Amino acid sequence: EVQLVQSGAQVKKPGESLRISCKGSGYSFTSYWITWVRQRPGKGLEWMGRINPSDYYSNYSPSFQGHVTMSVDKSINTAYVQWSRLEASDTAMYYCARHIVASTRTHDYWGQGTLVTVSS
Amino acid sequence: DIQMTQSPSSLSASVGDRVTITCRASHSITSYLNWYQHKPGKAPKLLIYAASTLQSGVPSRFSGSGSGTGFTLTINSLQPEDFATYYCQQTYGTPFTFGQGTKLEIK
């Protein structure tokens, strides 16, 4: 069974750093990209970017470029997104999703979400 | 960036109704269009990919159509579990933008 299991909720202060994770299981982790999606409170879904676990190539939405960094540890089938300096506007639910690059180009399995709260 | 515009932004309907949600792309995205269902506190769920292909396990009352810049999601015979927010997303070119969502509520 394909699963993406994300790390737990986090409460941080502005200016702090954070890394959240997404662990894949039940499939070949390096055969699918991982996408990250943000949902701010009361708002819609926003595509942040994606990373290829096979070669670590990543590309970001311009809205997130330079503010977050995506990474992967292939040895433990885990993808990460990290912030070096959080802002209050980063308060959101973050989802990872498995991304099929060829053919359908869709996102077929999703993690349960990680709630990040940034508040002083 | 490719802009995705969904309409309506909200919709009230009754169990058993047929509803249609529209998604328009600012540029042609051929058929690289996905539809997701999202319920509060849950992960988004893929319903339709490639504009009209039903994801495995999704009930056949859901259907999608369109190509180029205009797409529709139709739900026949609404069931209680269908009340949720629906998003379209283009995966033609990065950034893979979503529509703003359509909240489907019980009338």
pLDDT in tens, B72-105: 999 999 999 999 999 999 999 999 999 999 999 9
Element (H, E) at B52: none
Q: Which amino acid belongs to residue A7?
A: S
pLDDT digits (tens, 9 = 90+) for A42-87: 999 999 999 999 999 999 999 999 999 999 999 999 999 999 999 9
Cα-to-chain-centroid distance, residue A71:
9
Three-state secondary structure call for residue A4: strand
Residue A72 DSSP one-character state: E
Element (H, E) at B57: none
As separate numbers, helices (DSSP H) first and strands (DSSP E) second, chain A gives 0, 11
Residue A103 has pLDDT above 90, yes or no: no
Instruction: Tell me if B95 and A97 make a contact (CB, 8 A cut-off).
Output: no
Cβ–Cβ contact B57 with A under 8 A: no
Q: What is the pLDDT of residue A102?
A: 83
The single residue listed with the structure tokens 């498995």 is: A98
Q: Are B74 and B86 in contact (CB under 8 A)?
A: no
Q: What is the pLDDT of residue A35?
A: 98
Instruction: Tell me if B44 and A35 make a contact (CB, 8 A cut-off).
Output: no
Q: What is the pLDDT of residue B15?
A: 96
Q: What is the pLDDT of residue A104?
A: 81
Minimal Cβ distance to B87: which of A45, A49, A108: A45
Residue A42 dihedral angles phi and psi, to the nearest 5°: 75, 10
Instruction: Tell me if B34 and A106 make a contact (CB, 8 A cut-off).
Output: yes
Minimal Cβ distance to A44: which of B43, B49, B100: B100
Q: What is the pLDDT of residue B33?
A: 97
pLDDT digits (tens, 9 = 90+) for B27-43: 999 999 999 999 999 99
Show residues of chain B in contact with A44, CB under 8 Å: 87, 98-101
Sign of CA dihedral A39, A40, A41, A43: negative
Q: b vs e for B28-39, b when ≥16 Cβ sit within 10 Å of the residue's Cβ?
A: ebebbbbbbbbe
Interface test with B, best of A39, A95, A106 (most B CBs within 10 A): A106
Residue of chain B with shortest Cα separation from A110: B43
Residue A44 dihedral angles phi and psi, to the nearest 5°: -90, -175
pLDDT digits (tens, 9 = 90+) for A9-35: 999 999 999 999 999 999 999 999 999
Residue B107 banded pLDDT, cuts 50, 70, 90: confident
Cβ–Cβ contact B38 with A under 8 A: yes
Q: Are A91 and A119 in contact (CB under 8 A)?
A: yes
Minimal Cβ distance to A112: which of B36, B43, B101: B43
